[in-house]
Structure 1
Amino acid sequence: MLLLIAFEAAKSGLWPAISSALFGQRWGDNVVKGSVSALKNGPLCVLLNFPNLALPLMFVGIAAMRRLLGGPLAWAVGLMTAMYFLFAVRYSVSDQFMFFVPFYAMAAILAGLGFVRLSEAGKRRWLGVAAIILLAATPVTYSLLPSITQRFNIAVPGRTDLAYRDSPRYWLVPWKNNEDSAGMFARTAMEQVPPGSIVILDSTTFYAVDMIRRLEFSDKDVRLVILGKDSKMDAIPVGTPNVYLDSAGEGYHEKWMDEFATYDRPAGKALFLVVWKGR
Structure 2
Amino acid sequence: MKKLLSVFLLSIVAPVLAVAAGGGYPLDDMKPNVSNKASLQNGAQTFVNYCQGCHEMAYSRYERVADDLNIPHDLVTENLIFDGAKIGQHMTNAMTVDAAKRWFGTAPPDLTLVARVRGEDWLYTYLQTFYEDTTRPFGVNNEVFPNVGMPHVLAELQGLQKKGCAQVPVEVDVLTGQDITEEKCDVLYLAEEGKLTPAEYEETVYDLVNFLVYTAEPMQEKRIRIGIYVMLFLSVFFIFAYLLNREYWKDLH
TM-score (norm 2): 0.26
TM-score when scaled to structure 1? 0.24
Name the structure with the higher strand share. Answer: 2
Higher helix share: 1
Greater RCO, CA 8 A, separation 6+: 2
